[in-house]
């Protein structure tokens, strides 16, 4: 990545886990995170097993950056294992393989974004800002796979989606339904606002909706249908 000087960015990411089987790229990405986003707690791993070991050591990063091509993982298997271990943490896929099929597959699986390895520093910075704001990032020219809407789902399917939320996600969803903004949710739950945003992004993906309003409508849809049965 280019080392061109950039203006100070407002985004600050406290901790990150970078997973890539090329040590030089791994170190370069970690250095970019530190200089651009003031990330102070960065751990790196060059394999899936090493990454899982890092996560078992009570390390809960603000985000995870994952290369799909690892020596002990194939296809989406590494991504899915990471998400199973850390369901509430945004996982960003960084890869040199940029076919539309790959990009759509990782986004459909729940990735917070897809960043090509040849992306320049400024676009990388902008992509990370979008992801931190709760958007799903794909490079220009790619499309985000359509998600299923509430009206297409049965009560059982919606209920199952809600049941699979983590305890914190379920509580945040309840506060969203009460109309609370992120700042008040953060105060209510004694969490950093960035952490609340990460939880909301994760729960939106799990529910298969795009925003808070749709999530609240999903819950309301279940309640209405249950009352009619």
The per-residue pLDDT of the chain, averaged, comes to 83
For every residue of the chain, DSSP letters joined together read ------PPPS----EEEEE-S-HHHHHHHHHHHHHHH---EEEEESSHHHHHHHHHTT---SEEEE-S-BTTB-TTHHHHHHHHH-TTS-EEEEES---HHHHHHHHHTT-SEEEETT--HHHHHHHHHHHHTTPPB--TT--PPPPPPGGGS-HHHHHHHHHTS-HHHHHHHHHHHTT--HHHHHHHHT--HHHHHHHHHHHHHHHT-SSHHHHHHHHHHHHHHHHH-
Residue 99 and residue 184 in one domain: no
Q: pLDDT-derived band of residue 72, with 50, 70 and 90 as boundaries? A: confident
CATH code, 211 = 1.10.10.10
Query: Quick one: what percent of the chain has pLDDT higher than 70?
Result: 86
Q: Answer whether residue 219 is part of any domain.
A: yes
Contact 84, 51 (CB under 8 A): no
Closest of 87, 85, 51, 49 to residue 66, by C-alpha: 51
> Is the confidence at residue 183, as pLDDT, over 50?
yes
pLDDT of residue 213: 79
Residue 33 and residue 121 in one domain: yes
> Is the confidence at residue 83, as pLDDT, over 90?
no
Phi then psi for 20, rounded to 5 degrees? Answer: -155, 140
Average pLDDT over residues 25-48: 93
Residue 19 and residue 128 in one domain: yes
Residue 89 and residue 171 in one domain: no
Q: pLDDT-derived band of residue 159, with 50, 70 and 90 as boundaries? A: confident
Q: What's the number of domains the chain is made of?
A: 2
pLDDT of residue 8: 40
Residue 48 and residue 83 in one domain: yes
Burial of 229 (0-12, 13-18, 19+ CB in 10 A): exposed
Residue 112 and residue 175 in one domain: no
pLDDT of residue 133: 81
Each residue's pLDDT tens digit, 94-148: 999 898 888 888 888 888 999 999 999 999 999 998 888 888 899 999 888 665 4
> Is the confidence at residue 78, as pLDDT, over 80?
yes
Residue 29 and residue 92 in one domain: yes
Show the domain range for 66.
15-132
Which of residues 87 and 26 earns the better pLDDT score? 26
Residue 157 and residue 197 in one domain: yes
Buried b (16+ CB within 10 A) or exposed e, 122-150: eebbebbeebbebebbbeeebebeebeeb
Q: Answer whether residue 104 is part of any domain.
A: yes
Contact 67, 75 (CB under 8 A): no
- What six digits make up the tokens of 173? 């969803």
Average pLDDT over residues 190-214: 85
- What six digits make up the tokens of 34? 């530190």
Which of residues 7 and 217 earns the better pLDDT score? 217
Residue 119 and residue 62 in one domain: yes
How far apart are the C-alpha atoms of 4 and 36, rounded to whole Å?
A: 11
Contact 96, 71 (CB under 8 A): no
Q: Answer whether residue 9 is part of any domain.
A: no
Residues forming beta bridges with residue 64, ordered by sequence position? 17, 91
Query: Quick one: what percent of the chain has pLDDT higher than 90?
Result: 35
pLDDT of residue 151: 43
Burial of 191 (0-12, 13-18, 19+ CB in 10 A): middle
Residue 100 and residue 51 in one domain: yes
Q: pLDDT-derived band of residue 149, with 50, 70 and 90 as boundaries? A: very low
Residue 108 and residue 161 in one domain: no
Q: Answer whether residue 94 is part of any domain.
A: yes
Residue 36 and residue 115 in one domain: yes
The residue with tokens 């009570």 is: 58
pLDDT of residue 158: 73
Does the pTM surpass 0.85? The reply is: no
Average pLDDT over residues 161-165: 80
Rg, the chain, Cα only: 18
Each residue's pLDDT tens digit, 203-224: 888 888 878 877 887 777 666 5
């Amino acid at each position: 990545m280019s080392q061109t000087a950039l203006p100070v960015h407002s985004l600050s990411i406290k901790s990150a886990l970078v997973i890539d089987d090329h040590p030089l790229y791994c170190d370069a990405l970690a250095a970019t995170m530190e200089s651009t986003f003031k990330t102070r707690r960065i751990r790196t791993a060059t394999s899936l097993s090493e990454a899982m070991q890092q996560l078992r050591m009570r390390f809960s990063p603000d985000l995870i950056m994952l290369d799909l091509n690892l020596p002990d993982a194939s296809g989406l298997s590494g991504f899915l294992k990471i998400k199973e271990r850390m369901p509430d943490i945004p996982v960003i896929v960084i890869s040199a393989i940029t076919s539309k099929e790959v990009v759509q597959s990782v986004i459909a699986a729940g990735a917070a974004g897809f960043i090509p390895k040849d992306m320049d520093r400024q676009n990388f910075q902008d992509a990370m800002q979008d992801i931190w704001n709760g958007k799903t990032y794909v490079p220009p020219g790619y499309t985000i796979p359509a998600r299923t809407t509430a009206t297409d789902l049965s009560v059982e399917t919606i209920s199952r989606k809600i049941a699979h939320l983590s305890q914190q996600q379920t509580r945040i969803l309840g506060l969203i339904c009460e109309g609370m903004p992120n700042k008040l949710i953060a105060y209510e739950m004694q969490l950093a606002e960035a952490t609340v945003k990460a939880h909301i992004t994760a729960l939106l993906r799990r529910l298969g909706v795009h925003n808070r309003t749709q999530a609240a409508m999903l819950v309301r849809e279940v309640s209405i249908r249950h009352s009619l049965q």
